[in-house]
Amino acid sequence: VHLLCRIKTLQKGHVTFRNIFFQSRKAAPAVYKNNFIQLLLNTWIKSSKSNMLQNRTVKEILWGYKDPFLSKVPFPLDPVLGVFYPYNGTSDGLYRVYTGKEDISKTAIIESYKNKRNLSYWEGYCDLVNGTDGASFPPFVKKDQVLRFFSSDICRYAVYQTSKIVKGIPLYRFTVPREAFASPIDVGDNYCFCTDEVISQNCTLAGVLDISSCKAGRPVYISLPHFLHASESILHDVEGLSPNEEEHETFLDVEPCLATLPVARRLQLENLRGSFPPNEVFAYLPFTDVFIALFQSAVIGDEKAEMFRNKVTGRVQLLGVVQMALIIAGSVLFLAFMGSYFICRTKKLK
């Protein structure tokens, strides 16, 4: 298996990519289990001048391209294929979020997604809608907290790693830990994320999550870039990998009193074929061929940071100084009172 593309923002470069339709869980079983369908399929592919291997731009792979084969088949099928098609420019769905008015500890917590409390993708707790969208969290975050965040593709969590100061603002850095992508053998709670025992090698592989259920059956998997925190067998089977936490981990920098400020969301999409019996359609195709790394990051601007320091951080620090001053003054007054009390009591006894 070879790493064919390492992409951050490249949209125009061409890569060789397998035809997405023939890898979907809806199409593949019908292909390799029926000889007549295989023969018919091969004939249609040749007549449409299509190929199992497509030379496409990254933009086409992500957002859609018109497949010549699907344009020829005598069925009412959408001829456009893409990993994120047809989601470009569309709404993710209706979210109901707690405002925190009645319970401040629920601020920004997602109550439901599309009027549901689960996704219907996985089983058990893996399928629950919980946490926030990662843009903000309930105030007064503590270092020992586990911060859960949700997206319609994956629901994961972050744990405290270190404290940082960004543009004069003290922050807690929370990162997605190794355990979040661990195999069910190591972390039993992750068993409900294991949906394909063949690809996951009986649920023993770590670092890769199946999201095909929410991608219309397309064989799409998600991981951290360069398979960070993945099993050694994956790292050895792919050339060109150099995973390191500084460049490839996903983190949230949280201002503990109010909100999230800088954030880096780093993910990698894999297109996996799975294990199909040899036939003319799938012959000589690799287990996986293209990895697309997505890097999203945001940081507060200088002007907003100055305003935040003046209106929030500075006042919180001033409050801390006033609080400490009051404690010291109270302690001094208490000691003075106790001293006066014992002096007066001693004089009366004399």
Q: What is the DSSP string of 171-216?
A: EEEEE--GGGG--TTT-GGGGGG---TTTTTTTT--S-EE-GGGTT
pLDDT band at 1 (very low <50, low <70, confident <90, very high): very low
Does a structural domain hold residue 71?
yes
Does a structural domain hold residue 324?
yes
Which tokens is 230 given?
């993945």
Q: Among 81, 101, 123, where does a domain finish? A: 81
Radius of gyration, CA atoms only, the chain: 28
Does a structural domain hold residue 56?
yes
Does a structural domain hold residue 164?
no
Question: Rounded CA gap, 71 and 225, in Å?
Answer: 34
Q: What is the pLDDT of residues 125-178, one digit of tens each?
A: 778 888 888 878 888 888 888 888 887 766 667 788 888 888 888 888 888 888
Stretch 79-88: mean pLDDT, rounded? 75
* Cα dist from 225 to 126, 157, 294, whole Å: 22, 17, 8
Q: Among 81, 97, 117, where does a domain finish? A: 81
Q: What is the pLDDT of residues 235-280, one digit of tens each?
A: 887 777 888 888 888 888 888 877 666 677 777 766 655 444 444 4
Does a structural domain hold residue 251?
no
Residue count of the chain: 350
Does a structural domain hold residue 179?
no
**Widest CA span in the chain:** 118
Cis? peptide before 79, omega within 30° of 0: no
Does a structural domain hold residue 105?
no
* Total count of domains within the chain: 2
Q: Among 59, 81, 103, where does a domain finish? A: 81
Residue among 218, 180, 167 nearest 21 (CA): 218
Go through 99-125 and write b for each residue having 16 or more CB atoms within 10 A of its CB, e for each that does not: eeeeeeebbbbbeebeeeebbebbeee
Residue among 338, 261, 337, 340 nearest 297 (CA): 261
Range of the domain at 326: 302-350
Residue among 59, 54, 53 nearest 12 (CA): 59
For 130, residues 6+ apart whose C-beta sits below 8 A from its C-beta are: 109, 110, 148, 150, 155
Question: Rounded CA gap, 348 and 53, in Å?
Answer: 102
Helix (H, G, I), strand (E, B) or coil at 266: strand
Does a structural domain hold residue 4?
no
With the C-alpha atoms ordered 69, 71, 72, 78, is the resulting torsion angle positive or negative?
positive
pTM reported for the whole predicted model: 0.68
Go through 2-24 and write b for each residue having 16 or more CB atoms within 10 A of its CB, e for each that does not: eebbebeeeeeeebebbbbbbbb
Q: Which helix (H) or strand (E) holds 347?
A: helix 314-349
Q: What is the pLDDT of residue 219?
A: 67
For residues 262 and 112, the model is more confident at 112
